[in-house]
Amino acid sequence: MFIEKLKKAWEKNNSLVCVGLDPDLSKLPECVKDKEFPIFEFNKQIIDATHDLVCSYKPQVAYYAGQDAEKELKMTIDYIHANYPEIPVIFDSKRGDIGSTADMYAKEAFDRYNADSVTVNPYMGTDTLKPFLDYAERGVIALCRTSNPSGDEIQNLIVEDKAIYKHVAKMANEKWNYNNNILLVVGATYPAELGEIREICPDIPFLVPGIGAQGGDIEAVLKVGLTADKAGLVINSSRGIIYAGNGEDFAQKSREATETLRNTINQYR
Ligand code: OMP
């Protein structure tokens, strides 16, 4: 199951780093631009250069859907499974809709793309999450306290003495984890909230975006976010890693950036 696969990847590579595969065609290095599948070629080289340093890869669907590159998304996920089957893939689509539609979104993530886990928006409630959660072998990562500046407009509203993001954390811990496959998204940009959510959910792994380009504080995240076994975090960096270089050696540069991030994180573990 997903949590076990993630634990093994944490241990094997001694890493909490997730590389976000968010390729923007206009930013790709010249050396891949003339390939038949430039996005796939870019991803493949980054994956080959970093697979022993990461605990997961997270392709963000918008970069593929928005650039008519869904075939390359499928090729990327298939490539990871075929060559590095121990590394879980997070399908970042943040889906959320009524149950009948959510059924199809779950099929998209788990049957069409064969991802190990998916990000979902839980703000439509339990019936919209169920189609995902019922894939007991796969992970479901629900938005809790997001990394973006305006996230607090709704997530931090106090309802019945409690911030909404804390209510989401409580629901995850008490209601949505019936298959032991729920995780939460908690942004690195809000470490105080991250610590509060860790108190509510002592064992649930968190996907933590917001390192690098968004300015999240790694030390603060590690101080309050680790689980008792000194893991429990999947710390994503996309632009900070995939655009570390822009020449022929871009993949080597992405490796260096990944290794630096892994070592920085491990220093605080
Ligand atoms: P970088 O800022 O380039 O590292 O990218 C961050 C990645 O994490 C993007 O793919 C975002 O869609 C994703 N993300 C956030 O930045 N904030 C969130 O609160 C949640 C996510 C996510 O679910 O991954």
Exposure b/e, 102-124, CB count within 10 A at least 16 = b: beebbebbbeebebbbbbbbbee
Instruction: Report the C-alpha gap between 172 and 177 in whole angstroms.
Output: 6
| Residue nearest to ligand 1 atom 5, measured at CA | 238
Q: What is the mean pLDDT of the chain?
A: 98
Q: Please state the rounded mean pLDDT for residues 132-156.
A: 98
Residue 172 tokens read as 């995850």
Decide if pLDDT at 125 tops 90. yes
Closest atom of ligand 1 to 239 CA is 3
Which token pair is 230?
Answer: 């000194």
Our answer on whether the CB atom of 23 is closer than 6 Å to any ligand 1 atom is no
**Interval between CA 20 and ligand 1 midpoint (Å):** 8
Span from the CA of 210 to the centroid of ligand 1 (angstroms): 6
Calculate what percentage of the chain has a pLDDT beyond 90.
99
Mean pLDDT of 73-94: 98
Burial class of residue 58 in the structure, from the number of CB atoms within 10 Å of its CB (0-12 exposed, 13-18 middle, 19+ buried): buried
Task: Choose one of 236, 239, 243 to mutate for the ligand 1 pocket test, by most ligand atoms within 8 angstroms of C-beta.
Answer: 236
Q: Which of 196, 206, 53, 214 is nearest to 148 (CA)?
A: 214
Task: Please state the pTM of the whole predicted model.
Answer: 0.98
CA-to-CA distance for 212 and 192, rounded, in angstroms? Answer: 18
Ligand 1 atom index nearest CA of 90: 24
**CA geometry: angle at 254 spanning 249 and 260, to 5°?**
130
Looking at ligand 1, which atom is closest to the CA of residue 211?
Answer: 4
Pocket lining: 214 vs ligand 1, CB cutoff 6 Å: yes
- Confirm or reject: Cβ of 56 under 6 Å from ligand 1: no
Q: Is 27 known to be catalytic?
A: no
Whether 147 is in the pocket of ligand 1, judged by its Cβ within 6 Å, is: yes
Ligand 1 centre distance from Cα of residue 90 (Å): 12
Residue from 190, 240, 193, 229 nearest 17 by CA: 240
Query: pLDDT, tens digit, for every residue of 207-258?
Result: 999 998 899 999 999 999 999 999 999 999 999 999 999 999 999 999 999 9
Range 2-267: architecture per CATH: Alpha-Beta Barrel (3.20)
With a 6 Å cutoff on the Cβ, whether 193 touches ligand 1 is no
pLDDT at 191 (0 to 100): 97
- pLDDT in the model for residue 82: 98
**CB 191 less than 6 A from any atom of ligand 1:** no
User: Of 7, 8, 74, 94, which residue is the catalytic one?
Assistant: 94
Q: Is the CB of 38 under 6 A from ligand 1?
A: no
Of all protein residues, the one whose alpha carbon is nearest to atom 15 of ligand 1 is 209
